[in-house]
Structure 1
Amino acid sequence: MEAFLISTGIVALAEMGDKTQLLALVLAARFRKPWPIVFGILVATIANHAMAGALGAWVNTLISPQAMRWILGISFIAMAVWMLIPDKLDDDDTDNKPPRFGVFGTTVFVFFLAEMGDKTQIATVMLAARYDAYLWVVAGTTLGMMLANAPVVWLGSRVTKLVPLRVVHIVSALIFVVLGGLALLLPA
């Protein structure tokens, strides 16, 4: 249960102001069909985070606990630094072509691609490597993504204006520093 709760919290915080959250806002403004967008985000996130979690679980079988402790500690601290760098949408992410695969298909496709190499995907790999609970980590990171993105789709920019993103980024960075420090200081 710890893996689920930590995964949910970390990814929900990491997603605030992230490129994929901005993409969710753009999709909602462009298509104005929240349900297919939310379901598309869910499907893309499950697929993406299942792959990331599998990678993390696999890496955990290859590396000694001592080496994993150092890799995770340094990775979490690097994630803290990354949290302090705000994301922006690329111009390519907001083209005005009509959706070829419908709102749902378009959302799945663009959200899956935007999530590749993103903070939350890398966090999923690290969490799955840290905890021996693949399904709980993937379920938690997926819930964290949905907690951060579904309200944006339904409520639009009002949600992002209520939350001071800089404060959320700083708190998230501090959480990653604490996790990194604990990984480095506590025995495996």
Structure 2
Amino acid sequence: MDLAVVALSFAAIFVVELPDKTFIATLVLSTKYRPLLVWIGVGLAFAAQTGIAVALGKAASFLPDDLVRGGAALLFAFGAIVLLREARAHHAAADDEAEIAAKAGDVHGVRVVLASFLVLFAAEWGDLSQLLTLSLVARYDDPISVFFGAWGALLTVSGLAVIVGRVLLRYIPLHVLHYVGAGVCMVLAGVTVYELLA
């Protein structure tokens, strides 16, 4: 396991996911149900989604290097565009996610874990963090390190949502977090293009 790749994956996914709709979904779920059970369900959903992204990224690593780097650069740039759009429409995203979380119904115990898993698994499918994880695996060809870095970031973000989400959003506007995430994606896209052309 390469700790540099773990740290890079953690940092990239963390800043992209912090302002994401899944942060809001976890926050909403944790205000409705027991926070620990929500976090367990969300963590399991993130493990499944990260595993799928890592497997797809590993499959992509068998493609020619220039094609993989070009695809990764495009995905990073796409991620930056998505985050810039989200920065402009963050209120609508929060409302949509609140509606999704509300559909979980009135549940307790293991059913809270299952409801949290299902809400986040659906919300994360094809999400930016999943695409970014796929790109990182294809780029660095280190699925184990990327998995642990990405999953660790997702667990940290969901933990923050459960514990301090409301407080954080009082001091840091959501659109600022979107802009930071977009900046990180643009830097990753630029580095990838530079390495492709070098």
Pairwise same-fold verdict (TM > 0.5): yes
Give the aligned partner of residue 24 of structure 2.
Answer: 22
3-state SS in 1 of match to 2:133: helix
1:117 and 2:94 matched: no
**1:152 and 1:160 in contact (8 A); partners too:** no
Deviation at 1:99, TM superposition (A): 2.6
In structure 1, the gaps of 5 or more residues are none
Q: For residues 92-107 of structure 1, what are the structure 2 equivalents within 5 Å?
A: 92-95=100-103, 97-99=105-107, 102-107=111-116
Q: For residues 123-162 of structure 1, what are the structure 2 equivalents within 5 Å?
A: 123-162=132-171
Give the aligned partner of residue 10 of structure 1.
Answer: 12
3-state SS in 2 of match to 1:17: coil
3-state SS in 2 of match to 1:102: helix
Give the aligned partner of residue 42 of structure 2.
Answer: 41
Give the whole-Å Cα distance in 2 for the aligned partners of 1:107 and 1:96. Answer: 8
User: Greater share of helix residues, 1 or 2?
Assistant: 2
Higher mean C-alpha displacement, 137-146 vs 88-97? 88-97
Which whole-Å deviations, capped at 9, do the CAs of 1:49-89 have from their partners, x for residues lacking one?
0111110111111x201111211112211111111122512
Deviation at 1:15, TM superposition (A): 1.0
Which whole-Å deviations, capped at 9, do the CAs of 1:99-138 have from their partners, x for residues lacking one?
3851111111211111101111111111111111101101
Give the aligned partner of residue 50 of structure 1.
Answer: 51
3-state SS in 1 of match to 2:112: helix
Q: How much identity, in percent, do the aligned residues show?
A: 26
Aligned residues: 186
In structure 2, the gaps of 5 or more residues are none
Higher mean C-alpha displacement, 48-57 vs 65-74? 65-74
Note the aligned Cα RMSD (angstroms): 1.8
